[in-house]
Chain A
Amino acid sequence: MRRPASLSLATLSLAMALWLTVPAAAQEEQSTAPFAYRQLDDPAKEQQAQALMETLRCLQCQGQSIADSDAPIAGSMRSLVRERIAAGEQPEAIRGWLIERYGDYVSYAPQLTSLTWPLFALPVVLIGLAALLLRKRFRRGEVR
């Protein structure tokens, strides 16, 4: 009585396992860039590269950083970052190179530009405003 049930369960799980492996039928070739999936030998440089990769946007899967993404173009970008770090380039220079091509959107680290300065100025303005309001309050207390 039980056997057919467990058999069909086994068939089902096998079918599911097969189904899960099949869709990998490469819609896109994996990145073959040398350092897409390989870390740099020098741990200090790899750490530098990793820190930079975490703040660069994957152009295809736009919520992710290139360190997190498995998209082929992210692989190419990781390799580009690692090769340039290995060649002694500064992380911010590499970020600049990418921004020059893709605009600020490619970087997760906000840059101070003519467009973004209000973001940085607003907290200062709000603190100033709060100080002003509080000063009035305290002064009224003194008079009383």
Chain B
Amino acid sequence: MSPPVRTKAPAWAIWLPLGLFLAFAALVTIGLFRPADRTVASTLIGKPMPAFALPPALPDRPGLGSADIASGKPHLVNIFASWCIPCRVEAPQLRALAGAGVPIVGISVRDSTEALTGFLKENGDPYQRIGADDDGKVQLALGSSGVPETYVIDGRGVIRYQHIGEIRPEHVAMILAKLQEASQ
């Protein structure tokens, strides 16, 4: 009975577990200090806007339908709400964009007429039309995961860009460039 033949492992093999452990620790550290971006972006960019028709959110202003947006000129579609704090932050930038001649239409999500009226009085009113998305269904149809979000729609009604979160002063030039791009 001969002893079983044992192949000798190479010398470096003893460092293998330590190496694997260090690699794993490095992976965890990277994940801790640079967490992955968990923003859920719409996957409808480059696709036509889904068809919808929303009733007016205010008595003195028309509601919003997808046909109103595909009218030959690029539009900004701003998804907002009176209860949303970052929407107050972006209000001056929207006013500036409206002042520059950009057609802005709004979709107010889960809002009420009184709250909305107060919000617009307080923060200015850049909207040509405001549709009331009371059950949030159009927000879901557009692939929007929160408020505020702003879509750049070209003249044919194709979604060209989605801005997630508030438009800060440093974003205005970029939004204007996107609109310029959409008009070509």
Contact = CB atoms under 8 A, between A and B. Distances in A.
A26 B112 CA distance: 13
A2 interface: no
A77 B83 contact: no
Contacts, number: 73
Contacts of B85: 27
Interface stretch (A4-12, A44-52, A95-103, A120-128): A95-103
Interface string A26-57: 11111111101000000000000000000000
Nearest to B142: A101
B146 A80 contact: no
Contacts of A69: none
Interface string A19-31: 0000000111111
B43 A72 contact: no
Interface in A45-91: 59-60, 62, 72-73, 75-77, 79-80
B121 interface: no
Given A27-B83, A59-B146, A102-B145, A77 B140 contact: yes
A76 B140 CA distance: 8
Interface in B123-142: 134-137, 139-142
A26 B83 contact: yes
A96 to B, nearest CB: 12
B145 A73 contact: yes
Q: Is the interface of B mostly helix, strand, loop or mixed?
A: loop
Contact of A34 (B135, B139, B142, B146): B135
Interface size grouping (class) on chain B: 20 to 34
Given A59-B145, A59-B146, A60-B145, A102 B40 contact: yes
Contacts of A27: 83, 85
B112 A59 contact: no
Residue from B38, B140, B142 with most neighbouring chain A CB atoms (10 Å): B140
Given A60-B145, A76-B139, A101 B110 contact: no
Contact of A60 (B81, B135, B146): B146
A34 B135 CA distance: 8
A79 B142 CA distance: 16
Interface of B: 4, 38, 40-44, 81, 83-85, 110-112, 115, 134-137, 139-143, 145-146
15 contacts: A27-B85, A28-B81, A29-B83, A30-B110, A31-B136, A33-B135, A33-B136, A33-B137, A72-B136, A73-B145, A76-B139, A80-B137, A101-B42, A101-B140, A144-B4
Given A33-B137, A72-B136, A76-B140, 19 more contacts: A28-B84, A29-B83, A31-B110, A31-B136, A32-B134, A32-B135, A33-B136, A34-B135, A72-B110, A73-B139, A73-B145, A75-B136, A76-B139, A77-B140, A102-B42, A102-B43, A103-B40, A103-B43, A105-B40
